[in-house]
Structure 1
Amino acid sequence: MALGKGLSAILDEVGQAYENETGGICAYSFGHVREIDVEDIAPNPYQPRKYFDEDALLELSESIKQHGLLQPIVVVDKGDDEYLLVAGERRLRAHELAELDTIKVIIADVDIDDAKLRELALIENIQRENLNSIELAHSYDELIKVYEITHDELSLVLHKSRSQITNTLRLLVLSDYVQKKLIQNDISQGHAKILVGFEEKEQKLFVDTIIGQKLSVREAERLARNSRNLNQKTVVS
């Protein structure tokens, strides 16, 4: 199955549409900008982003209340005054938090099926680096499975190195405890990668030590290396 064809063009046209809007032009080949009711917009069911920083959302909400929305969200018209969100869930949530009744949107003049909607949601978030490491890993994994492509093929589509994709995917083998700490930014991705290959109990012990002693990645690497050497000596003896 082809992946990525047309998506970068769609995102480019969204940006161009907004630039045209700010320049006073109100009609586009891609779509048009208007105000619609927030309650008429349904979220994208394929949104890969699961974690939204509440403090950052509150800041965005306050900014929107003071200065307005600088970049419209993107929706498709489903008919009967119902719209489906394509891009901009964080901005939509901020509007809801601000208790604003309407929001500025770009209505895309395109027919997007479920497959394209999933693809657009994944790649839009990946390209804009909106996902945490675990969400990114799940997104890579879903793209690979759904479209039956290799790491190399995905790297070409996303313009990411193959090693970056492979290393990110390896985070999914870590325990739920480690993944949660990574999502919460209690540890870095550099810390997490060190723990691949350790048993679940060892992973928890390492994470608690890294957090408790505020270890750098280099210090954590040294600790992990010493632990592996000790385990090897135990096996030999």
Structure 2
Amino acid sequence: MAKKTRGLGRGLDAIFGEVSQAYENSMGDSERAVLELSVDIIKPNPYQPRKYFEENALQELADSIKDHGLLQPIVVCEDDSGEYVLLAGERRLRASKLAGMSTIRAIVADIDIQKMRELALIENIQRADLNPIELAYSYQELIDEYDITHEELSQRIKKSRAQITNTLRLLSLEAFVQESLIEGKITQGHAKILVTLSPQEQRLAMDSIIGQKLSVRDSEALIKNIKNPTKTPNRSQNPSNISMELLKEAQEILQKNAYKTSIKNNQICIEFSQDVEIKTFIEKISH
């Protein structure tokens, strides 16, 4: 059965209209609505799109809270059972617990509990503090929930259609690449150019990017080589007639002298990690 299209006037507009207005009203009336709540009684928002919290940054925030207190309250609402559910400020709540705080200042917002997911998406997308993968999932949720196009979403959240489309493409990456992006081992620029590769090629390229600390430009050249590998001569048709046994013998001598080497395409490659190693090598072969 085809999915029923929701009217934008009462659908996505509600997210950036009615809900955000209710949120702002509660924030504006914070003196009356602020409570000191036990950190243990606040339930997480089940629709929170943010999944990854960098440990060092959390610890820094926890240290700041210890020294200066919590400068901005979190935002909660009451569910049908009268319990408090977190709407905004999960990082602050986690850092407060890490700092050993037993209570936390919280604004109690008068917002329909059914709009928790929408508010969580607003809070994160507008603050731009999601990592690229979490942001992509947030975009996808909005598109699926309201049955809209990338262009329509672009108009509502005031971001370019190209930015939305490129971000959504990250969801097609293999899980290990997404994890590396989340952890900051690669950038979104690196991830974007890995999308066109097969899973095996993604692994090969990502390992090279991380291991060699390649820039995005260097990574683009690497990916071109992966897609269009240069044909190398067959070992059985060695045009240079170099003996592999002699190459290995030379490699052993170099390795005994503490040189890191490898044999590729009938060539011995010597690897240097410091300028002083190169200077020492030059001095040895100059005598």
Counterpart AA for 2:106: V
Corresponding position of 1:88: 89
Counterpart CA distance in 1 for 2:25 and 2:223 is 48
**Residue 78 of structure 1, CA deviation:** 3.3
Counterpart AA for 1:89: E
Could you tell me whether the CA contact under 8 Å between 2:79 and 2:113 is conserved in 1?
Answer: no
Q: Structure 1 pair 152/40, CA: closer, same or farther in 2 (3 Å)?
A: same
Corresponding position of 1:68: 69
**Residue 107 of structure 1, CA deviation:** 0.6
Counterpart CA distance in 2 for 1:197 and 1:55 is 33
**Residue 88 of structure 1, CA deviation:** 0.6
TM-score by length of 2: 0.72
Structure with bigger gyration radius: 2
The correspondence of residues 20-169 of structure 1 with structure 2, limited to 5 A, is: 26-27=31-32, 32-78=33-79, 82-113=83-114, 116-169=115-168
**Residue 230 of structure 1, CA deviation:** 3.5
**Residue 147 of structure 1, CA deviation:** 1.5
Counterpart CA distance in 2 for 1:93 and 1:230 is 48
Corresponding position of 1:222: 221
Q: Structure 1 pair 106/99, CA: closer, same or farther in 2 (3 Å)?
A: same
Aligned-residue sequence identity (percent) comes to: 58
Corresponding position of 2:180: 181
Deviates more, 1:142-151 or 1:1-10: 1-10
Corresponding position of 1:8: 20
**Residue 98 of structure 1, CA deviation:** 1.5
Q: Structure 1 pair 206/169, CA: closer, same or farther in 2 (3 Å)?
A: same
Counterpart AA for 2:25: E
Q: Which runs of 5+ in 1 are unaligned?
A: 19-25, 232-237
**Residue 62 of structure 1, CA deviation:** 1.2
TM-score by length of 1: 0.86
Aligned residue for 1:149, secondary structure, equals coil
Aligned residue for 1:45, secondary structure, equals coil
Counterpart AA for 1:9: Q
Counterpart CA distance in 2 for 1:111 and 1:173 is 34
Q: Structure 1 pair 34/65, CA: closer, same or farther in 2 (3 Å)?
A: same
Alpha-carbon displacement from aligned partner over 1:8-35 (angstroms, at most 9, x marks no partner): 32443355345xxxxxxx33xxxx1121
Task: Work out the number of aligned pairs and report it.
Answer: 218
Counterpart AA for 2:219: A
Q: Which has the higher contact order (CA 8 A, sep 6+)?
A: 1
Runs of 4+ in 1 over 4 A off after TM superposition: none
Aligned residue for 2:197, secondary structure, equals coil
